[in-house]
Amino acid sequence: MVYKHTKFIFVTGGVASSLGKGLTAAALGALLEARGLNVSVLKMDPYINVDPGTMNPFQHGEVFVTDDGAETDLDLGHYERFLDITTTRKNNFTSGQIYDAVIKKERRGDYLGATVQVIPHVTNEIKDRIMAAAEGRDILLVEVGGTVGDIESLPFLEAARQLSFDVGEDNAIFIHLTFVPFIAAASELKTKPTQHSVKALLEIGIQPDIIVCRTDRPLPQDVKKKIALFCNVRVGRVITAEDQRTIYNLPLALHAEGLDDQVIEALKMWVKKPDLSAWEKVVHETERPSDEVRIAIVGKYTDLVESYKSLNEALKHGGIANECRVRLDYIDSEKFEDDASALGELLADADGILVPGGFGHRGIEGKIAAVRHAREARIPFFGICLGMQCAVIEYARALADCARANSTEFDADTPHPVIHLMEAQKGVADKGGSMRLGAYDCNLQPESLAYQAYGKRLISERHRHRFEFNNAYRERLAERGMIATGVNPDLGLVEVIEVPAHPWFVGVQFHPEYKSRPLAPHPLFAAFVRASLDKKRGSR
């Protein structure tokens, strides 16, 4: 099957944010891939920040990091988990990047004296980047961030309108995701918000081809008919997207509603029916009521589970690999800074303890107390990035005669800077994009737990941090039983630490959660859940 041109699917959102536009686009991508198409994705974010790297996790949720070191929107995580792709910086851009590029061009004189305007200069910059992301693909899914009606997203929608006209009507379609609320007092599903948001789209020259309605119950045929009539779409192209028990059921649910059939028809393509058996298996494994492990996550962004999106998913994938359910208990480390015994009580029935990544001093001592509990009570422990750094601090303090050991991030004058800044980082003043970011290689020691999990010596994982294990303490810690089992071959930086005398104690400087997928659970998460399951069954 050879396509001369990429076909474009623009996904817009109406009525409210947080309706799951990214997930819907990702699930559609999975369906199209299952039909044999080569699909890629692009997320356009309307905010002016150049990237989300400097944003507070409470506002933005997780920052997803790509192999090539871009700090991107968390929707890219959904895309990597649902599609068989590895995203790069080409798969996400912000208004900030667009304006930055346009202004640089203007300063260089590239516009030859023209008055630089939103149309055509900003819209052309957007279109160029959409085309760059489309290269070599059958389909490019383009998610327009924000909600229709926002001022910020207007240039994106205008660029999409122009581009769909440029490539011709069989080569681009618009899918609009809206919200159909059930009003309990009237006992009725309401279509008016959908009608209004489609009107807002029509005002800017976009007629949606398919309307996906987020609801808490199936839309009856008469409600679909009403939406079809008011919004100029065929009734078969009004799709119910009901709330799901597990997000991995979304491809199956949308397929049952006919979404991928309608997309294929609207784009005038002839492709095979999808093979969804792999997704059916994932749903089965996620929902089967067999064993369950309880993993305590001791972090500080616990009010907003969105900031640990990839981590949550990776732990669920670990469950899929072990045919068990993973119950996640979030514990706010800050609440236990001065009360290790209360923390101990909370952690008493944990089958595994995980300390995730994070920045800044708040909650650190609570995390260190959680590490201590895991080490002393011999509960499987997994430390990720800051979590690994906390494990090193705790071990140095407790077992290597380094009282007051710390990271220089939290105590610049510590007598034992077991975690510190690399020389190269010391002069860096900019906060944006200045960390160790993206994929780095790591050599694993044979026989280590990490090696057993991966089944190979050379691995590559993604990073997002400034501070590093201080090699001056490597020998001293090794003598006391904490071993560096993974090291970066080029920089000599410690990437993995383990405590062989403990049943399962692993800290990693990188973020393995970014690369875990439901169809390919990450080996370290699979091993951690396995160890937790063994602990629960009393076999460790």
Q: Which residues are catalytic?
A: 385, 511, 513
Nearest of 387, 365, 362, 385 to residue 296 by alpha carbon: 387
Cβ 486 to ligand GLN, closest distance in Å? 16
Q: How far is the CB of 356 from ligand GLN (least distance, A)?
A: 7
State in angstroms the smallest separation of the CB of 498 from ligand GLN.
18
Nearer to ligand GLN, 197 or 509 (CB): 509
Establish if 357 lies at the interface with ligand GLN (CB under 6 A): yes
Contacts with ligand GLN: how many residues (CB under 6 A)?
10
Stretch that binds ligand GLN, among 84-92, 110-118, 198-206, 354-362 (CB under 6 A): 354-362
Question: End-to-end CA distance of the chain, in Å?
Answer: 53
- Residues 76, 160, 386, 459: which binds ligand GLN (CB under 6 A)? 386
DSSP β-bridge partners for residue 92: 43
Stretch of residues binding ligand GLN (CB under 6 A), selected from 20-28, 343-351, 368-376, 458-466: 458-466
Q: Taking CB under 6 A as the criterion, which residues in 290-329 touch ligand GLN?
A: none
Contact 353, 381 (CB under 8 A): yes
Q: Is 414 in the site for ligand GLN (CB under 6 A)?
A: no
User: Of 43, 36, 51, whose CA–CA distance to 9 is shortest?
Assistant: 43
Strand partners, 111: none
DSSP for 136-196, please give it.
T-SEEEEEE-S-TT-STTHHHHHHHHHHHHHH-GGGEEEEEEEE--EETTTTEE--HHHHH
What 3-state DSSP class applies to 134? helix
What is the C-alpha to C-alpha distance for residues 461 and 454, in angstroms, rounded to an integer? 12
Residues 460-489 that bind ligand GLN (CB under 6 A): 464-467
- Min separation Cβ 469 and ligand GLN, Å: 10
Contact map string, positions 17 to 56, toward ligand GLN, x by CB under 6 A: ----------------------------------------
Contact status: 359 vs ligand GLN (CB under 6 A): yes
Task: Please give the structure tokens belonging to residue 487.
Answer: 């090291």
Least gap, CB of 384 to ligand GLN (angstroms):
7
Tokens of 220: 């009856």
> Phi/psi at 158 (nearest 5 deg)?
-65, -45
Q: Which C-beta is closer to ligand GLN: that of 387 or that of 521?
A: 387
Return the H-helix or E-strand segment holding 253: helix 250-256
| By the rule CB under 6 A, 409 interacts with ligand GLN | yes
CB of 357 to ligand GLN, least distance (A): 3
Query: How far is residue 468's CA from residue 449's CA, in Å, rounded to a whole number?
Result: 21
User: For 400-511, where are the alpha helices, taking DSSP H only?
Assistant: 423-426, 449-454, 474-479
Nearer to ligand GLN, 281 or 466 (CB): 466
Helix runs in 308-413, H state only: 309-322, 340-347, 364-376, 386-399
Specify the stretch interacting with ligand GLN by CB under 6 A; choose among 179-187, 233-241, 248-256, 459-467. 459-467
Contact letters (x/-) for ligand GLN, 72-101, by CB under 6 A? ------------------------------
**Binding range to ligand GLN, per CB under 6 A, among 44-52, 167-175, 277-285, 355-363:** 355-363
Closer Cβ to ligand GLN, 368 or 385, answer by number: 385
List 76, 370, 385, 400, residue binding ligand GLN (CB under 6 A): 385
- How far is Cα 260 from Cα 255, in angstroms, rounded to an integer? 6
Q: What is the DSSP string of 351-369?
A: SEEEE----SSTTHHHHHH
Listed ranges 95-103, 183-191, 353-361, 529-537: which one lies at the site for ligand GLN (CB under 6 A): 353-361
Taking CB under 6 A as the rule, does residue 522 contact ligand GLN?
Answer: no
- Whose CB is nearest to ligand GLN? 357
Q: Kindly tell me the burial class for residue 532, based on how many C-beta atoms sit within 10 Å of its own C-beta (0-12, 13-18, 19 or more).
A: buried
* Between 33 and 409, CB nearer to ligand GLN: 409
Structure tokens at 63: 């920052």
Residues that bind ligand GLN (CB under 6 A): 357-359, 385-386, 409, 464-467
